[in-house]
A and B are shown apart, each in its own frame.
Chain A
Amino acid sequence: DSGVTQTPKHLITATGQRVTLRCSPRSGDLSVYWYQQSLDQGLQFLIQYYNGEERAKGNILERFSAQQFPDLHSELNLSSLELGDSALYFCASSESGTSGKHYEQYFGPGTRLTVT
Chain B
Amino acid sequence: EDQVTQSPEALRLQEGESSSLNCSYTVSGLRGLFWYRQDPGKGPEFLFTLYSAGEEKEKERLKATLTKKESFLHITAPKPEDSATYLCAVRRDSSASKIIFGSGTRLSIRP
**What residues make up the interface of A, taking CB atoms closer than 8 Å to B?**
2, 4, 31, 33, 42-45, 48, 55-56, 58, 88, 90, 92, 94, 100-110, 112
> Closest CB of chain B to A52's CB: distance in Å?
15
Contact call A56/B32, Cβ cutoff below 8 A: no
What's the dominant secondary structure at chain A's contact region? strand
Q: In this complex, what residue of A is CB-closest to B47?
A: A104
Residues of B within 8 A of A58 (CB): 97
Establish whether residues B49 and A103, one from each chain, have CB atoms under 8 Å apart when the complex forms.
yes
Minimum C-beta distance from B35 to chain A (A): 11
* Contact count band on B: 20 to 34
Q: Which DSSP category, helix, strand, loop or mixed, fits chain B's interface?
A: loop
Asked if B34 and A104 make an inter-chain contact with CB atoms under 8 angstroms apart, the answer reads yes
Given contacts A45-B99, A56-B97, contact A100 B43 (CB under 8 A): no
Can you list 26 A-B pairs, Cβ within 8 angstroms, ordered by A? A31-B96, A31-B97, A33-B97, A42-B102, A42-B103, A43-B101, A44-B101, A45-B97, A48-B97, A55-B95, A55-B97, A56-B97, A56-B98, A90-B44, A101-B49, A102-B96, A103-B34, A103-B99, A105-B46, A106-B46, A107-B36, A107-B44, A107-B46, A108-B43, A109-B43, A110-B41
Distance between Cα atoms of A43 and B42 in the complex (Å) = 12
Residues of B within 8 A of A (CB): 31-32, 34, 36, 41-46, 49, 51, 87, 91, 95-104
> Which chain A residues border B44 with CB–CB below 8 Å?
43, 90, 107
CA distance A34 to B6 in the complex (A): 22
Contacts of B96 in A (CB 8 A): 31, 48, 94, 102-103
Assess the B49–A42 pair: CB atoms within 8 A.
Answer: no
